Structure 1
Amino acid sequence: MQTISLGEHEIREAVSMSEAIDAVRRGFIGLAGGEFEMPTRTALRDGQFLVMSAHHRPTESAMIKTLSVNFDRAPAITGTVVWSTLDRLDHLVADAAAVTTLRTGAAVGVATDLLAAPDADRLTLIGAGAQGPDQVRAVHTVRPLRHLTVVATHAERAQALADTLRAELDGTEIAIATEAASAVQDADIVCCATPATSPLFPASALPARVHVNAIGAFRPTMRELPDELLADSTVVIDERDAVLEESGEIIHALQTGAIAQDDLTELGAALTTAPVGHRERTVFKTVGVAIQDWAIARLLADKFLR
Structure 2
Amino acid sequence: MKTISLSGREVREAVSMREVIDAVRRGFVGLAGGDFEMPTRTALRDGRFLVMSAHHRPTQSAMVKTLSVNFERVPAITGTVTWSTLDRLDHLTADAGTVTTLRTGAATGVATDLLAAPDADRLTLIGAGGQAADQVRAVHTVRPLRRLTIVGTTEVRARSLANTLQAELEGTEIRTSTDPASAVGEAHIVCCATPATSPLFPASALPAEVHVNAIGAFRPTMRELPDDLLADSTVVIDELGAILEESGEIIHALRAGALAQDDLTELGTALTSAPFAHGRRTVFKSVGVAMQDWAVARLLADKFLC
So what's the TM-score if we normalise by structure 2? Answer: 0.99
What is the aligned length? 306
- Say which SS state the counterpart of residue 34 (structure 1) adopts: coil
What corresponds to 1:301 in structure 2?
A: 301
User: In structure 2, how many angstroms separate the alpha carbons of the residues matched to 1:14 and 1:151?
Assistant: 30
What corresponds to 1:162 in structure 2?
A: 162
What corresponds to 2:27 in structure 1?
A: 27
Residue type of the alignment partner of 2:25: R
| Aligned-residue offset at 1:153 | 1.3
Residue type of the alignment partner of 1:232: D
1:123-202 paired onto structure 2 within 5 Å: 123-202=123-202
- Aligned partners of 1:77 and 1:96 also within 8 Å: yes
- Say which SS state the counterpart of residue 145 (structure 2) adopts: coil
Tell me if 1:68 matches 2:68: yes
- Aligned partners of 2:236 and 2:284 also within 8 Å: yes
User: In structure 1, how many angstroms separate the alpha carbons of the residues matched to 2:244 and 2:296?
Assistant: 25
User: In structure 2, how many angstroms separate the alpha carbons of the residues matched to 1:211 and 1:61?
Assistant: 34
- Aligned partners of 1:4 and 1:91 also within 8 Å: yes
| Aligned-residue offset at 1:276 | 4.9
Deviation string for 1:173-196 (max 9, x for gaps)?
Answer: 000000000000000000000000
Residue type of the alignment partner of 2:15: V
User: In structure 2, how many angstroms separate the alpha carbons of the residues matched to 1:229 and 1:245?
Assistant: 20
User: In structure 1, how many angstroms separate the alpha carbons of the residues matched to 2:144 and 2:38?
Assistant: 33
Runs (4 or more) in structure 1 with deviation over 4 Å come to 274-279
- Aligned partners of 2:115 and 2:278 also within 8 Å: no
User: In structure 1, how many angstroms separate the alpha carbons of the residues matched to 2:120 and 2:262?
Assistant: 28
What corresponds to 2:288 in structure 1?
A: 288
What corresponds to 2:8 in structure 1?
A: 8
User: In structure 1, how many angstroms separate the alpha carbons of the residues matched to 2:159 and 2:205?
Assistant: 23
| Aligned-residue offset at 1:279 | 5.9
1:83-94 paired onto structure 2 within 5 Å: 83-94=83-94
- Aligned partners of 1:53 and 1:64 also within 8 Å: yes
Percent identical? 81
| Aligned-residue offset at 1:170 | 0.2
| Aligned-residue offset at 1:273 | 3.0
Deviation string for 1:55-78 (max 9, x for gaps)?
Answer: 000000000000000111111000
User: In structure 2, how many angstroms separate the alpha carbons of the residues matched to 1:230 and 1:112?
Assistant: 17
Which residues of structure 1 form unaligned runs of 5+? none
- Aligned partners of 1:84 and 1:91 also within 8 Å: yes
Deviation string for 1:140-165 (max 9, x for gaps)?
Answer: 00000000000011100000000000
Deviation string for 1:194-231 (max 9, x for gaps)?
Answer: 00000000000000000000000000000000000000
What corresponds to 1:209 in structure 2?
A: 209
| Counterparts in 2 of 1:256 and 1:275: CA distance versus 1, 3 Å | farther
Tell me if 1:233 matches 2:233: yes
Residue type of the alignment partner of 2:123: L
User: In structure 2, how many angstroms separate the alpha carbons of the residues matched to 1:298 and 1:272?
Assistant: 22
- Aligned partners of 2:116 and 2:278 also within 8 Å: no
Residue type of the alignment partner of 1:236: V
- Say which SS state the counterpart of residue 171 (structure 2) adopts: coil
What is the Cα-based RMSD across aligned positions, in Å? Answer: 0.9
Residue type of the alignment partner of 1:141: T
What corresponds to 2:267 in structure 1?
A: 267
User: In structure 1, how many angstroms separate the alpha carbons of the residues matched to 2:36 and 2:28?
Assistant: 10
Residue type of the alignment partner of 1:89: L
Which residues of structure 2 form unaligned runs of 5+? none
User: In structure 2, how many angstroms separate the alpha carbons of the residues matched to 1:131 and 1:14?
Assistant: 19
Deviation string for 1:239-278 (max 9, x for gaps)?
Answer: 0000000000000000000000000000000001366565
Residue type of the alignment partner of 2:95: D
